[in-house]
Each structure stands twice: as C-alpha cells, then as structure tokens.
Amino acid sequence: MSNKKAEMPEESTANGGDSNRIDNSNSGGASSAGAGGRNASQKHIEKIVLQYLKSKGYKDAEKALRENAMLDTAETTLGDLSNAFPASEVGSDASVPNWILFYNEAEQGNPDAYSQSYKELRRWIDNSLDVYKHELYAASYPIFVHSYLDLLGRELYEKAAEFMELYSCDHRVFHSKDISALETLKAKSHIQENELAKLYRENKYGVRMTRVGFELLLSFLQDHHYTLLMRTVNQHLNIRTIDGTVPISSEAEADVGITGHTQNQLDHFNSQEIVLGSASLDPFVRDEVERTLQSEAGRRIKDNTSREAAGMLETFSKIKQDSSVNGLSSREAIPMPPPRGIEIEQQIANLKAVRKRISLGPAALPSICMYTLHNTNNTMNCATVSEDLSLLAGGFSESYIKIWSLKREPLRGLTSNFYPNSVNSVEDAEMLREKTTDDYRKLVGHSGPVFGLDISFDSKYLISSSEDKTTRLWSLDTFTNVVCYKGHNYPIWDVSFAPQGFYFATASHDRTARLWSCDHIYALRIFAGHLSDVNCVRFHPNSKYVVTGSCDKTVRLWDVQRGSCVRVFTGHTGSIDTVAISPDGRIMASAGEDQTVNVWDLGSGRRMDTLTGHTGPVYSLTFSQEGTLLLSGSADETVRAWNQASNSSKPAAVSSSERKKRDAAGIWKSKRVAESEALLETWRTKSTPVYTIAMSKRNLGIAIGAFTLS
C-alpha cells in the first residue's frame, strides 16, 4: 500500500484505510460460513498468504504453513483460485497488501464478476449528477480496458468477448481506435504480444477528476465491494484531483491517459463519412415546376408575370444544376411519400423568394421584425412562426398552444359536421368554415407544459411536445388534434419537423432523441448516446441527419437511416439549448447556457469559431439564407448578428488562436464579456428575452419574445 499512497492524492489515503476495514470484515464474514470453530478471519488470512506463497513459488514456506494451519479443505478452493488467478497475472506490480486488501473470494471465483460490477458501475454513472458524469465516464474507460484484459488473462474468452460487445459502445466515441485494436485480442497469449495491451498493462492511466467526483467513485466501489474494479483503480489508474470542473476536451492533455499514447480519438470517430449535399428534388415535382414555369413564360401576352416566370425558370435551372453536382443520389436520400402537389406550389414560392431575397452580409444587415407577447406572466415556454410568416404559435405552461394570425385575419377552421354530398366546389368548402372572427385560436389537448413547437413547411400542421410525455400533431385546417405520439417516458423538450415535412424528431429528458413519421404512432429511430437530457433537435437541410444538443455539453450528429451517431462536437462548457444548421448544410452553430455560440464544421467535426458577447443564456440561433450571417436571440434581451462570411473561406481552421479564444471565454463570470470580432451588431429589446429568432426565405429576420416585468 505504501507505494500507492505516494501516487494517490491525500483523500485517497483516508479512503484506502476505510476500504481496508470494510473489505476485511466482509471477506471474513464470507469465509466464516465454511469454517467451524476457528477464528474465521484468521483462517482467511492464512488462506490468502498461502495463495501468495504458492503464486510466488515459495514451496517450502507454503508447505510449512499448510501443515501448521492444517488447511486441509483449502486445496480445492485454491485450485479454483489458481485457475482463476494465474501467477503470471500477479506480476511485479501487485504487492502483498494489495493482494490481501482487494481479495474477495466470492468475486474471484465468479467469472461474471467483472461484467456484473462493471454493469453496476455503468448504471451508477448513468444516474449520477450531470456535473460529474463526464469525469466518471473518463475514469470508467481504463477500468473497462483492464477488466477486459483481466478476463482474457483468466482465459474466460467468451466472457471477454461478451463484455467487449456489451460495453464498448460507451467508449467508442473517444477511443474508437484503441477499442477496435483491443477487440481483436482473442487469447491470453495475445496480451503479451499486442503492443497496445502491453502499453495499458505496463503503464498507469492518468485520469483527472474533481475531489467530489473521486470521492463518489471510491465510496461507490467500496460500498458495493467491487474489489476487482477497486484493484484496477488502485493498480492501473493515476488519479489526479483538481479544483473546479474537468473539461471535456477534444485535445490530448499531458496528464490524461497514458503518456505518449494518444488517448483522445474523437477526431478518428468524427472522420466517419457523411453526405452533406442538398436533397435532390423529386423528379415529378421538378418536371411539374418546370412545366408550370415554362407555360407561364411562354404565354403570348408578355406581362410582368410571364417575365418573372422566365427569370424563375433560369434560377430553377441553376438550382437544378447545383443539386445535380452536390445533391444526394436517390439511393442516399431518405424515402419520402409521393408529392401531393403542394410541393410544387411551395417550390415556386421558394423560387420567387430567392429572386426577391435581399442578400445579406457584414455590410448589409437584415431587417428584423419583433413580435412581442404581452401578459404572458412567464408562462410561455416556446414560440415559432410559420415559414410563410402567416402564423405565430406559442406553447404555454398551462398546457395549451395559442396560434395567432399574423395577417390579423380571422382563423376559421373547417367544421366536421357536413354532408359530403353538398360539397361540390372550393367555395362550398369555404362556406363550411367556422363563423368566428377571432384572429387567434387556442389548441387544448396536452396535459403538461408545452416545451416544443414547430409548424410544417406548408403551414398545414403544427407539432407540439410537452411535459406530459406526448407529442401531438395538430391540423391547422381544422385546429384540432390529429395524432398523439407516445413513446418517450419522460418530458419532451423539443420537436422539429423535417424540411420537407412528414418526418419529425423529438428530444427528451430520457436522454434520447427519436425520429418519427407522421403516419406512424411509434418512433422509427431512437438516437441514444447522450449522457444527459437532449435539449434540442434540428434536421439537416437534406433530412438525412439530425443534430441534437444536450445537457451533457455535447452536440451530436445522427444518421437518420442507420440511427447511429456520426459526429460528436465537444467544447461547450454548459448545457446546449439550441442548434442551427446553415442552409447549405455544411456549418452548424450551437449555443446555450454558457452564453457562447460555437460554430462547427460538420464535415470535419472541428470548431471553427467561438462567439462571445452574450450576457445571458442563448435561446435561439438562425443562419441567413446565404449562410453569411448568424443571428442569435438570448435571455439578455438582445438579438446579435455575427459575421460568418469569412468562415466559408477558411474551413475547419483549428489553430492555436482558437485555443486562446477559449481561454478568454473562460471569464464569463465577470459582468463584461469580451466580445468576439465577429459580432457585427447588437439590438436591444425592451425587457423582452428573445425566445426565438428565425429567418424567412427572403432574409427577413423574425424575433419573438415575451415581455417580462423585471
């Protein structure tokens, strides 16, 4: 124990003492059942000493002890033990006290002990506080590796393989290379041959932990008598306690891992191939749009509309060309239901918008229309506008959703009681609408606060997620609840429609994000991997990926088809509340509690920029249509515009300057925040935290906030 003391921090010494006491009493109790009138613990120690002598090859001493102590029954047990624990395993590293301290007969004999105790450890980490989760996960990696190697060493090959299969997923993100290498080990002898395994066996693995986190881990292992794991911690880990929080870093730190061996293999993980091109148009829609435009342009009477149509046709062919170069092949794209005609209208409207779009940039800042909600008394949780800017919706703590018409026209839903025979034309259908004159509607159905809202691209559907564990689809023709999707077992924080509708994704407190389609009441994919609540979810413009932000301070990119994680973005120092992807699908921005906005390159998974300046949690982000500007809305009652024009010219530039910025960003606590150079403009509101910021197709900014009396 003496050599351990030198390496472990002070607290561990005290804890080591505790473990001593607990372990002895425990193992004593275990052996007392088998022993008769003899002092149980005495016999137990003798047994261990005997084992030790045997393992070291001190035959005479062993024999003497055996005779003196008259351990006749011990032979069988020891035989098992020596099988389970060959002498070679107790190498020069294992000292006598270590051997005695961490000896638990029940565990030693049980081939499932590693699997069981690691499973418990994993579950315990999963349930621990978010603050400590990361460091505990980091510490569990060497435990995992050594448990695996131990199992191999004990020639329990099947168990080892099973162990690897079950738990390797936890560490693949950060240690994918090492795990794939270790996976190939199939026999005890391989450990001796394999460079990597030897590296792990012969070196101590450095881990950084906070004081509390370390104490929690130790007391967990002690309380449950996981002596095997405890031994690994003692033998192979070099734990350094630090003050403050342990950063989840993507860069190798000097005292983390094994010196000289690259520990962090996140980059390797993030190098998985992804396709970021834009989604190709449905051939039917494409042809139909072309046909419509051509007939418009080719009309005999040359008026404005025909000229416009001609221009739009030009733009459309350009877009078509682009998509044929960068777009996804039909095999790559996710399946969509056949087009209903609304897509064609939508496409033409988009083309119109593109032609009328004001191009924005650092020199040309957008106009922003602010919608302020009054009398909310802090009960509004979320808000959104439809893409055509005709509807505004808000989700409230009182379980209802309220929709306003932004054109101040009455919202009249279709009634359901009519004779189908009497409806012969559109006019007849219009006649069937309700006779209300109110320009707002309340949607009642949820039984808990509504946390997430989204309106489909065609403004026909609204989807809402709530604390009541359900997601509901509302028709905006009838203003009624159409479908209720159940599946999550905890509150759902966010919901988002796919760009072309039909699919939607939810983010929940249950640490998963799920993909749904409107026509199925169960989830099509479950994206599991976040260590804590998933706070927000957004679709990639090509619908092939979803991006999620979580309380575990990471952002993940998921492949919709495979349901697996393909990118992990680390670098935030607080929970992530919002993400946004640029319309070209190459850049992603995330922000949240830590008041900074990070801009990422989706392709490489690297951080491109850290934008500081906000003095409150950031609630919402949006890119301009060209991706040259990033707008952010925050609790600090401001909307800020950030320059993104320079980013396109320097993709994935990770340099020392970036690191410096992060250091500078470490002083958030002071009232004055160092503002990034990219900050172009700050617009203040009158005591209105900005809940949502959006960009219309024509590059008009929309900000929504609830007026709050301070």
**Residue ranges binding another protein (CB under 8 A):** 129-131, 364-378, 380-382, 392, 394, 396-397, 402, 404, 406, 449, 451, 467, 490-491, 493, 509, 533, 535, 551, 575, 577, 593, 616-617, 619, 635, 639, 641, 672, 680-686, 689, 691, 701, 703, 706
Are 158 and 165 in contact, with CB atoms under 8 Å apart?
Answer: no
Nearer to another protein, 104 or 575 (CB): 575
Nearer to another protein, 174 or 371 (CB): 371
Phi, psi for 507 (deg, rounded to 5): -125, 135
Cα(274)–Cα(567) distance, integer angstroms: 9
Nearer to another protein, 292 or 372 (CB): 372
Least CB distance from residue 452 to another protein, whole Å? 9
- The three-class DSSP label of residue 549 is strand
Nearer to another protein, 317 or 682 (CB): 682
Residues 112-128 as b or e (16 or more Cβ within 10 Å = b): ebbbebbeebbebbeeb
Cα(600)–Cα(623) distance, integer angstroms: 13
One-letter amino acid of 558: W
Q: Which two tokens stand for residue 53?
A: 């002598």
Nearer to another protein, 129 or 252 (CB): 129
What's the Cα-to-Cα distance from 150 to each of 107, 232, 276, 549, rounded to whole Å? 13, 9, 43, 37
Least CB distance from residue 5 to another protein, whole Å? 25
Phi, psi for 251 (deg, rounded to 5): -105, 155
Q: Which two tokens stand for residue 3?
A: 């050599």
Least CB distance from residue 141 to another protein, whole Å? 24
Q: Which two tokens stand for residue 637?
A: 């009652």
Least CB distance from residue 75 to another protein, whole Å? 41
Q: Which of 570, 650, 562 is nearest to 273 (CA)?
A: 562
Nearer to another protein, 107 or 577 (CB): 577
Least CB distance from residue 130 to another protein, whole Å? 6
Nearer to another protein, 382 or 513 (CB): 382
Least CB distance from residue 382 to another protein, whole Å? 7
Are 635 and 616 in contact, with CB atoms under 8 Å apart?
Answer: yes
Least CB distance from residue 362 to another protein, whole Å? 10
Least CB distance from residue 570 to another protein, whole Å? 20
Least CB distance from residue 604 to another protein, whole Å? 30
Q: Which two tokens stand for residue 649?
A: 């010219």
Nearer to another protein, 541 or 592 (CB): 592
Nearer to another protein, 498 or 641 (CB): 641
Cα(131)–Cα(137) distance, integer angstroms: 11
Nearer to another protein, 118 or 396 (CB): 396
Q: Which helix (H) or strand (E) holds 659?
A: helix 656-665
Q: Which two tokens stand for residue 387?
A: 């893409």
Are 509 and 130 in contact, with CB atoms under 8 Å apart?
Answer: no
Q: What is the DSSP letter of 433?
A: B
Nearer to another protein, 585 or 701 (CB): 701
Least CB distance from residue 374 to another protein, whole Å? 5
Least CB distance from residue 247 to another protein, whole Å? 19
Residue 441: HSE in the Cβ half-sphere, 13 Å Cα cutoff: 23
Alpha helices in 33-129 (DSSP H): 40-56, 59-69, 74-84, 96-101, 105-109, 113-127
Are 403 and 393 in contact, with CB atoms under 8 Å apart?
Answer: yes
DSSP β-bridge partners for residue 623:
630
From the CA atom positions of the chain, what is the Rg in Å?
Answer: 31
